[in-house]
Structures are given as C-alpha cells and as structure tokens.
C-alpha cells in the first residue's frame, strides 16, 4: 500500500473474498484501539494505527466469478469505468528506491500505452511465471507465455503483479475464455490485445528487486530482506543472522 500511496494513488480498490475480513479491518479506523493506545500513552503506536486508515480512500469489492488473476479486474470494472488503472497483486512486492508503481505511471504517460513490470529470472524458474518476449530492439511486448516449459520459454523475462491496464484490455478480458488450469488469466487478455496490434510496454526493475511471497520459501526471503533495512531492528537482525552456525 505504501508503494501505491507514495506513487500518488489516492483511491485503492481492494478485491477480497469472504475469508479476507481481517484485511478489510486492517485498513479501517478502530476507535476502541485508538482510545486504548491513547490511555496507555503508546503514542508511537497510536500514530502508526491512525496513519494506516488515512493512507488512502479504500474501496472494498467482493470477488465474483471463476478462479484466476483476471477475475479481480472484472470485479472492479464497474468502479474503474473508462479510466486506465494500476493492477497490483498483493503477494508481489517490489523493494526499490523509487516506488515502482511511480515508474509504471511515468512509463504510461511517456508512451501512452499500458505497461507491466518485468524482471529477469533464472532459466530454470521460467515455468513458474508468465514469460515475455520483446519486439527486437524495443521495450515493447511481442507476446507473453503463461508458465512455459524451459524449452518453450521465449526469454527469461518474467512479468509480475504490477501493471497499468486500459479499458480496451478490460473489454477483451470480459470475452476471454478460461485458460490454463481452468482459470481466467489477465495475460490471455493482454496477449489478445497485443495480437490485435495494441502496444504494450514493459518496465524492468532497475533500482531494486521484485519479491514474490506466493510460497513459503519466497515469503521468508522477502521478510528477511525487508527486516534487514528496518531502522528499528535491521542492525540487530543482521547481527543475529551473521551469528548463526549455518
């Protein structure tokens, strides 16, 4: 959320399911908790709690439709209407000096075209991600393949969950059939858009790295990376790691 807010985003639509009520509560104002912190003179915590609820205008939408990363887009389409918008996946983090969403926005206005975040991955890992092929000599997408085999991967450039989409892509997604695994893939709509002559740019992470938290190992790696740069615990945590008998 901090990345989005630091990039100038004011309205954030959270697409949730029935079991994500705690997520909605996290960004809501809690008068009872604030009063308790004030009474106990825990003013730093009180400031942090108030900051969360006032970061942005949060709008909550329940996800409806088939499983897949394209469904949240359709669930929020009636709110977004005819405007371009940032689509961010909650389990993808970008640890960088400049907010990565800000770089996407700059790319969008520079090229007047939708754009997606990409990062190079080891060749052995291409089957885990959507892999992008670029048009020769450009930063423009030629096509994207969702979770290809190593042999069929067009590159080692993986897309991840930061992109700016347009109403044209939403319209295509509304007509897109279920793809691999019986899921609705936003990459299928992007591929159709590109095949039809649409320009779709990529923005590579240059001053940091993309961290996925979709599995236990990568989740732990991301938490370690973020803990090491925290002002309050970073130095002690680094000392602890160095002292481990590994």
Kindly report, residue by residue over 46-104, the tens digit of the pLDDT.
Answer: 666 566 666 778 888 888 878 888 889 988 898 988 899 999 988 888 988 899 999 99
How far is it, in rounded angstroms, from Cα 134 to Cα 114? 14
Q: Do residues 52 and 26 make contact, with C-beta atoms less than 8 angstroms apart?
A: yes
CA triple 169-105-6, angle to 5 deg = 125
How far CA 13 is from CA of 44, 101, 232, in Å, comes to 28, 15, 31
Q: Do residues 169 and 189 make contact, with C-beta atoms less than 8 angstroms apart?
A: yes
Q: Do residues 9 and 104 make contact, with C-beta atoms less than 8 angstroms apart?
A: no
pLDDT of residue 100: 93
H or E, element range at 86: strand 85-88
pLDDT of residue 180: 82
Domain with CATH 3.90.550.10 in the chain: 2-212
Instruction: Say which residues have a Cβ less than 8 Å from residue 230's Cβ, sequence separation at least 6.
Output: 237
Report the phi/psi class of residue 100: left, alpha or beta, with left for phi > 0 and alpha for psi in -120 to 50.
alpha
CATH architecture designation of domain 2-212: Alpha-Beta Complex (3.90)
Place of tokens 């370690």: 224
Low-confidence ranges of the chain (pLDDT < 50): none
Percent of the chain with pLDDT over 90: 37
């Amino acid at each position: 959320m901090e990345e989005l807010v630091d990039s100038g985003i004011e309205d954030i639509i959270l697409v949730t399911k029935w079991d994500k009520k705690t997520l909605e509560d996290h960004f809501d104002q809690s008068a009872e908790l604030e009063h308790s912190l004030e009474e106990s003179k825990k003013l730093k915590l009180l400031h942090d709690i108030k900051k969360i609820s006032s970061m942005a205008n949060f709008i909550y939408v329940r996800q409806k439709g088939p499983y897949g990363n394209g469904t949240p887009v359709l669930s929020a389409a009636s709110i977004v209407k005819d405007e371009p918008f940032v689509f961010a996946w909650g389990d993808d983090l970008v640890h960088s000096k400049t907010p990565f969403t800000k770089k996407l926005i700059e790319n969008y206005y520079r090229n007047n075209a939708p754009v997606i975040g990409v990062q190079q991955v080891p060749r052995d890992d291409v089957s885990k991600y959507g892999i992008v092929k670029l048009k020769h000599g450009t930063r423009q997408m030629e096509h994207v393949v969702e979770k290809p085999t190593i042999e069929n991967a067009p590159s080692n450039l993986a897309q991840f969950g930061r992109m700016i989409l347009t109403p044209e892509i939403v319209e295509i997604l509304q007509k897109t059939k279920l793809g691999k695994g019986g899921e609705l893939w936003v990459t299928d709509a992007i591929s159709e858009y590109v095949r039809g002559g649409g320009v779709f740019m990529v923005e590579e992470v240059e001053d940091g790295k993309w961290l996925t938290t979709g599995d236990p190992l990568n989740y732990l790696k991301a938490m370690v990376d973020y803990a090491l740069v925290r002002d309050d615990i970073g130095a002690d945590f680094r000392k602890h790691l160095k002292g481990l008998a590994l």
